[in-house]
């Protein structure tokens, strides 16, 4: 059977294509596979760095604190009675000894008058006994008895004077009468409160230092507190606890600051910074701070061999030029551009930041 010419042409073309693929498989495949396995060249990344020298700087411990009255005392009644007057306005400044609450006198004045009358009688009896003893009409024992009676009368007068004085409940120190607990007509037993006195000058700024920082704090160290309204108070540490709070493992710190005019109130939040000597610090751009895979805050810098390293840092203070941090040693090339796109130990090309 004779094939048609068009069929012969199709079979010939198919044969050529088949021979081509068989030859490519036998002779060209390994070279292409080797070429496919060859990775493309990996260019060395480029970063910008800033030469940052080490500086000796005042080190401060930062504590979250609050203002607090230097003294807070609940002023209580020493005797029983009904409140007859409350001459001091709640929330006003008072001087030491000023009357806060006054109780009704009742029979206390009469008791004092009676005691004074008895005192005068005993004085006359003592005088008469002494004169008669001088003339030989009284014994020494009778004179001593008259003296004892006079001493008892003097004690009664003193007790009656104190009882009368106790009807006036007075301020134990100069400060603010912050809260009145008794109104006119209230019956007070001994020990019941008239009101609360607080001392705001000097003022305390208190906080709790973590156990990692407490060892650096000393009584007498200068400190400053920035209040929520931006006001800054300066003072000195008066107390650092030696025993930690069992719940928080922190140490209580108290700073005394002047407060003329009692302008600063108790209970305001404050950012407390306490001087803790000197130490090494570096000024780095804020943008240079990054987090490593463990979530630690730090900076990346370039070693002498051109490789990247990471160092965790502690922020000491924020400045206009950047952040003062501790944790670096010596002069370092801090990566300022590209720090988020390189890894520790990676080789980089270095360009100085402008």
pLDDT digits (tens, 9 = 90+) for 67-121: 999 999 999 999 999 999 999 999 999 999 999 999 999 899 999 999 999 999 9
CA distance 256 to 345: 49
Per 3-state DSSP, what percentage of the chain is helix, strand, and coil (rounded to 5)? 30, 40, 30
CA distance 123 to 185: 40
CA distance 103 to 170: 11
- Residues 6+ positions from 66 with CB-CB distance below 8 Å: 205, 206, 207, 267, 268, 269, 270
- E strands along 3-107, which residues? 46-52, 55-76, 81-85, 93-94, 99-103
Q: Consecutive 10-residue runs of the chain (354 residues): their mean pLDDT?
A: 61 69 61 52 81 87 93 95 94 94 93 94 93 88 92 95 94 94 94 96 94 89 93 95 93 95 92 88 91 90 92 85 90 90 89 68
pLDDT digits (tens, 9 = 90+) for 70-84: 999 999 999 999 999
Angle at 250 between CA 246 and CA 253, to 5 degrees: 125
pLDDT at position 5 is 64
């Amino acid at each position: 059977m004779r094939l048609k010419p068009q069929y012969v042409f199709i079979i010939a073309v198919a044969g050529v294509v088949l021979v081509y693929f068989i030859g490519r498989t036998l002779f060209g495949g390994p070279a292409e596979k080797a070429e496919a396995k060859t990775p493309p060249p990996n260019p060395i990344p480029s970063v910008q760095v800033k030469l940052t020298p080490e500086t000796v700087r005042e080190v401060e411990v930062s504590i979250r604190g609050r203002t607090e009255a230097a003294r807070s005392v609940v002023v209580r009644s020493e005797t029983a009675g009904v409140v007859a007057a409350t001459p001091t306005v709640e929330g006003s400044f008072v001087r030491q000894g000023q009357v806060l609450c006054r109780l009704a006198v009742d029979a206390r004045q009469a008791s004092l008058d009676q005691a004074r009358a008895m005192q005068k009688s005993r004085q006359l009896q003592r005088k008469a006994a002494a004169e008669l003893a001088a003339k030989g009409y009284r014994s020494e024992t009778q004179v001593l008895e008259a003296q004892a009676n006079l001493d008892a009368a003097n004690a009664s007068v003193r007790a009656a004077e104190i009882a009368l004085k106790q009807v006036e409940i007075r301020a134990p120190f100069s400060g603010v009468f912050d809260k009145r607990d008794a109104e006119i007509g209230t019956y007070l037993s001994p020990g019941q409160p008239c009101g609360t006195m607080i001392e705001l000058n000097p003022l305390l700024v208190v906080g709790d230092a973590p156990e990692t920082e407490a060892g650096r704090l000393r009584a007498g160290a200068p400190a400053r507190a920035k209040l929520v309204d931006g006001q800054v108070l300066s003072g000195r540490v008066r107390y650092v606890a030696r025993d930690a709070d069992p719940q928080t493992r922190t140490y209580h710190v108290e700073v005394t600051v002047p407060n003329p005019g009692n302008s600063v109130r108790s209970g305001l939040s404050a950012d407390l910074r306490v001087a803790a000597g000197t130490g090494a610090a570096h000024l780095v751009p804020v943008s240079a701070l990054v987090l490593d895979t463990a979530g630690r805050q730090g900076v990346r810098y370039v070693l002498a061999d051109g490789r990247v390293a990471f160092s965790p840092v502690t922020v000491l203070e924020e400045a206009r030029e950047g952040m003062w941090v501790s944790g670096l040693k010596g002069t370092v090339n801090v990566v300022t551009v590209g720090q988020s796109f390189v890894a520790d130990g990676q080789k980089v090309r270095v360009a100085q930041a402008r």
